[in-house]
Amino acid sequence: MRLVHKLSGHAESRPAKSQLKQDTQYYPWFDWLRGILAVVVMLKHDGLIPWEHAGNFAVQVFFAMSGWLIGGILIHLKPADLPRFYFNRAVRIWIPYYIGFGLLIAASLLRDPVTAKWLEIVFYKLSFVYNVFGTQQLAEHVNAMPLRGTGSHFWSVNAEEQFYLLAPLLLVLVRREWARGIGVWFAIAVVAWISHIYASIVFGVLAAVAVHRYGEFHLKKPVQAVLIVMLFGSAAGLITKLEYDLMAPIASIAIVLLLAQRGVQDRIGAIVGGMSYQLYLNHWIGFFVAHAVFKPFGMRDSAAAHVLSFCLNVSLAVAMYWYIDRRMLAARGQMYTEARGQLIVRLAYGMVAIGLIAGLALMVVRR
């Protein structure tokens, strides 16, 4: 979740003026969009946004952006390029993910008993299958999960990881004339939409395939007018409480395509986009610290607690991006070798396969 510009893909070098992204493939508005979406998720989890779907909708927009960007990259890849693709994805996604997950587990071990259910949930998140087997257990087993379900939002990163594993099978390894056809992806999108299975990601891939086939249709004025109508129409549907799972993907892809304007990355946008993944992963830390500081004074949910939480979370996210993510991304090219790329491919598919097999086995045992 490096490419032209991708979900979870931020500036790879120090955002000095001479080093900012200036190629024609960059989408500078996506930096700001990422930052806004991460803040929305944080504020929703802090209880400051009343709309019940706010956090999930932000994730749907992330998904649509990922489908658009990753799909656009995979269309142009050859099978021989896949090890480098997976290596780049691992550096970008795995390192922050496992650092954030490690912090969560360390905090959990200080206050939670290690039970069979606790270990099960930890295993699902380690193997990137929590979205398949863990989220549906949240209501019943929340008290047995690490920090009472804190970190459940990791499900979306797990879904992204599975997308990175599945999409290349169609877009790179299958016969290109078939796998990159508009009709094929339109059919997949319809099935995903009516079955509510990650339709936003598929809509993003469909849009990328359409651009590959027809050019940048989304930049034409009539199409932009249609996208605006789609956005406001689906927003009206969400407001009037039409089925959320049908309206959200439409609004999400409309937002992404309207903001998919090529340009030059600006200095502040590089930091905003860069810190968004860390903010998304680790915003629970600010909550815990702020609650611990203000709870003794009866001010756990006060405005001051919310402000402190916000400031701590943003500061931590910027620091982790600046001192970890940015440096790892800058060194990624030097770290890559064909052998390491092949190893990452095996690890990526192997972890998810083990997670799926173990999760299915546990489901059978419980029946």
Residue with tokens 């001051």: 304
| Tokens found for residue 138 | 């949240």
Q: Provide the Cα torsion 206, 210, 212, 216; round to 10°.
A: -120
Mind giving me the DSSP string for 33-89? HHHHHHHHHHHHHTT----TTHHHHHHHHHHHHHHHHHHHHHTT--GGGHHHHHHHH
Provide the residue-wise pLDDT of the chain in tens; the chain has 367 residues. 333 343 333 333 333 443 455 445 799 999 999 999 999 999 999 999 999 999 999 999 999 999 999 999 999 999 999 999 999 999 999 999 999 999 999 999 999 999 999 999 999 999 999 999 999 999 999 999 999 999 999 999 999 999 999 999 989 988 767 778 899 999 999 999 999 999 999 999 999 999 999 999 999 999 999 999 999 999 999 998 889 999 999 999 999 999 999 999 999 999 999 999 999 999 999 999 999 999 999 999 999 999 999 999 999 999 999 999 999 999 999 999 999 999 999 999 999 999 999 999 999 998 8
Query: Using an 8 Å Cβ cutoff, are 305 and 291 in contact?
Result: yes
Q: Three-class SS of residue 6?
A: strand
Residue with tokens 């997670």: 355
> Which residue ranges make up each domain of the chain?
17-366
Q: Which element (helix H / strand E) includes 179? A: helix 176-179
State the pLDDT at residue 24.
Answer: 53
What span, in angstroms and rounded, lies between the C-alpha atoms of 41 and 58? 7
**Alpha helix stretches (DSSP H) within 321-366:** 326-335, 338-366
Burial status of residue 218 (CB atoms within 10 A of its CB: 0-12, 13-18, 19 or more): buried
186's CB contacts (< 8 A; 6+ apart) are 206
179's CB contacts (< 8 A; 6+ apart) are 170, 171
